[in-house]
A and B are shown apart, each in its own frame.
Chain A
Amino acid sequence: MMHSLLVEGFGVQNWTYVLVGITFTLYIGIAIWARAGSTKEFYVAGGGVSPLANGMATAADWMSAASFISMAGIISFDGYDGAVYLMGWTGGYVLLALLLAPYLRKFGKFTVPDFIGDRYYSNTARLVGVICALIVSFTYVAGQMRGVGLVFSRFLEVDINTGVIIGMIIVLFYAVLGGMKGITYTQVAQYCVLIFAFMVPAIFISIQMTGNPIPQLGFGSQLADGSGTYLLDKLDGLSTDLGFNEYTEGSKSTIDIFAITLALMVGTAGLPHVIVRFFTVKRVRDARKSAGIALLLIVILYTTAPAVAVFARTNMIETVSNKPYANVPEWFKKWETTELIKFTDKNNDGLIQYVADESKNELFVDKDIMVLANPEIAKLPDWIIALVAAGALAAALSTAAGLLLVISASVSHDLIKKMINPKISEKGELIAARLSAVVAVCIAGYFGINPPGFVAATVALAFGLAAASFFPAIILGIFYKKMNKEGAIAGMVIGILLMLFYMTKFKFGWFGGGTKADWWFGISPEGFGTVAMIINFVVSIVIMKFTPETPKDVQEIVEKIRIPSGAGAATH
């Protein structure tokens, strides 16, 4: 008995229960310690978060199930093309730090629709802002819940729907209780968990394959087998042998790569749940600094992801390609039960043919499983495999919580307090905020159980929506004093409608549908946010020229937000 325990070890599943249990207890503990007593604490954590804590929280808020679970997987299948996510999801922070964060912090409000409504002196603009924020956030949060379900179903072997419900309860608990304050400090813990969980297996595998402990350098190094071959050259060779494009070349058109990268960058800078983080620091200079810290912490994971992609791709091809199906490792069978790996022996030779030619290919591997399966494929110890599960949950939960807060603040603050019932008491508003968080979690859970597509695809579209609606309105609001409400409203409405039209036409087949050949200018729905954003800018400026000028007092407010000193606390 003792002997068999030692040989078998503690097991992946037990390790997962232990690690997930410890981390969840930690999150709940923090939530109880940091519960919110006022609306100011609920919306912006009281406005006194240090730049480092805010940077860590922003990084965790930002890195979602898509970053942790899907991104390296997509890169490992798309090769060079995966760079759109790497550059797109980091480059946006440069825009955020240079063009948005300091000024929005100086403006000193609670939400993005708040800024839109006040800067454009119009409750119509505020309402358009609220609707855009809700569309963007729900599109995004659905992907997170699906990620939570995926991890639970594979590692704890519960039904994917049960997994989603467990995730909902946890998020509900600390988002409703703690508001922004609870979320911020939980996210600090979640950043630590997720970065550790991502880096440890990457470092192990990097040493295993190349002898270099730094994955960022490892994937550009020679193989550890003494052959003197560079890892990337080997992978290029393996890929072309199987009929795929060279890994380092990719297959998307240059214009599409350009458009997707720009849409993701601009979308990042326009996402309400990211922007709102910069309302939580004390001074304007802290807003700039915490954008830098956040990006630094994000880039640690983002520069590791392409290395993980190369390791995982090479390992996977070598483990399964042309190997007898009867001898596949245990992880292969386990993922088969979730139907995220499928094998059909088309030519009945008992071997796994994994090739680019669809008529001959016998293996389907879901992109979402690469990061989760990677430590198993590399035969790493059980506790590391379990750690990855805990990290994936931290990533999904932290982002979901941040989004839920945006949704609840949009409803309780922007809709109820600012538009429907301005006389609502502080206490009443806090209750409304908590209730709307509950409703939002339930809707998000519904989407998690009935997912609209796979994680990253859904998330990528949320960026297009943010790029098409908020980004131009905020930029013009700060850098163009004369921009008036008519222009901004028309721009946002036309921008987001156009993006919704294009996305539903080509993703869901509405409005007659269409295929790749019908794309406008050869730009995919993921990249169309760039086009919709440009049209938003043009419409705003044209409409402005034909409508009444911005009032003088609003122009003076714009002049004030350009100066960093005297940024008071966020006010109603």
Chain B
Amino acid sequence: MSEKSNAKAYWKENIRYVLILLAIWFMVSFAAGILFKDELNTIRIGGFKLGFWFAQQGSMYVFVILIFVYVRLMNKLDKKYGYDA
């Protein structure tokens, strides 16, 4: 593969990862914590209503996980395309 098409393929995979992870980012915060909060609030875990929990706790835990997943995926991707030097 030429250098140029190698870079192109790398970028394409990177964008795919980013889109998937950002979809999850949107789901846990804007969807679960804001738009569908009232529906989720009918479910309870201990003292927490679920929508309230996503807004004030859950979304933040997922954010941290998302970044570390991205770090792992990208380190692998860098290696696959020889950009880990």
Interface residues of A (CB under 8 A from B): 75, 80, 82-83, 86-87, 90-91, 93-94, 97-99, 102, 216, 219-222, 230-233, 248, 254, 257-258, 261-262, 285, 288-289, 291-292, 295-296, 299, 302-303, 306, 559, 562-566
Contact = CB atoms under 8 A, between A and B. Distances in A.
Q: Is the interface of A mostly helix, strand, loop or mixed?
A: helix
6 contacts: A87-B29, A220-B48, A292-B70, A296-B64, A563-B83, A565-B85
Nearest to B59: A87
A563 B10 contact: yes
B7 A261 contact: no
Nearest to B56: A306
Nearest to A219: B47
A288 B55 contact: no
Contact of B30 (A232, A258, A566): A258
Nearest to B75: A285
Given A292-B71, A295-B67, A91 B48 contact: no
Contacts of A230: 46-47
A566 B29 CA distance: 36
B61 A254 contact: no
Nearest to B11: A562
A530 B32 CA distance: 20
Given A87-B29, A254-B35, A565-B84, A299 B46 contact: no
Contacts of B57: 216, 303, 306
Nearest to A232: B47
A236 to B, nearest CB: 10
Contact of B55 (A83, A97, A564): A83
A353 B37 CA distance: 32
B18 interface: yes
A36 B14 CA distance: 37
A299 B78 contact: no
A248 B70 contact: no
A248 B49 contact: yes
B64 A295 contact: yes
B45 interface: yes
Contacts of A562: 7, 10-11, 14
Contacts of A303: 57, 60-61
B35 to A, nearest CB: 7
A83 B35 CA distance: 13
Interface of B: 7, 10-11, 14, 18, 21-22, 25, 29-30, 33-35, 37, 41, 45-49, 52-53, 55-57, 59-61, 63-64, 66-68, 70-71, 74-75, 78, 82-85
B33 A220 contact: no
A261 B56 CA distance: 12
Given A97-B67, A303-B57, 20 more contacts: A80-B37, A80-B52, A83-B33, A83-B56, A86-B59, A87-B59, A91-B25, A91-B59, A97-B71, A98-B66, A220-B47, A221-B47, A222-B47, A233-B47, A257-B34, A295-B63, A303-B61, A306-B56, A306-B57, A565-B82
User: Which 10 pairs of residues, A with B, have the shortest CB-CB distance?
Assistant: A230-B47, A83-B55, A292-B67, A220-B47, A565-B83, A306-B56, A220-B48, A248-B52, A97-B67, A232-B47
A80 B50 CA distance: 12
Given A219-B47, A222-B47, A94 B22 contact: yes
B35 A292 contact: no
A80 B45 CA distance: 17
Contacts of A102: 74
B29 A91 contact: yes
Nearest to A80: B52
Contacts of A566: 85
Nearest to A559: B7
A94 B60 contact: no
A370 B77 CA distance: 47
A306 to B, nearest CB: 4
A75 B41 CA distance: 18
Nearest to A285: B75
A82 B30 CA distance: 14
Contacts of B22: 94, 98
A90 B82 CA distance: 32
Contact of B83 (A261, A296, A564): A564
A233 B46 CA distance: 11
A75 B11 CA distance: 41
A296 B60 CA distance: 9
Contacts of A299: 60-61, 63-64
A86 B55 contact: yes
A232 B49 CA distance: 9
B74 A87 contact: no
Given A83-B56, A221-B47, A94 B66 contact: yes
Contact of B56 (A86, A254, A258, A289): A86
A102 B17 CA distance: 14
B63 A90 contact: yes
Choose among A75, A291, A302, A563 the residue with the greatest number of B CB atoms under 10 Å from its CB.
A563
A302 B29 CA distance: 15
Nearest to A262: B30
A572 B69 CA distance: 33
B70 A97 contact: yes
A88 B6 CA distance: 36
B76 to A, nearest CB: 11
Choose among A90, A102, A220, A559 the residue with the greatest number of B CB atoms under 10 Å from its CB.
A220
Contact of A87 (B45, B53, B55): B55
Contacts of B45: 220
A559 B10 CA distance: 11
A99 B52 contact: no
Contacts of B53: 220
Nearest to B18: A98
B25 to A, nearest CB: 5
A91 B34 CA distance: 14
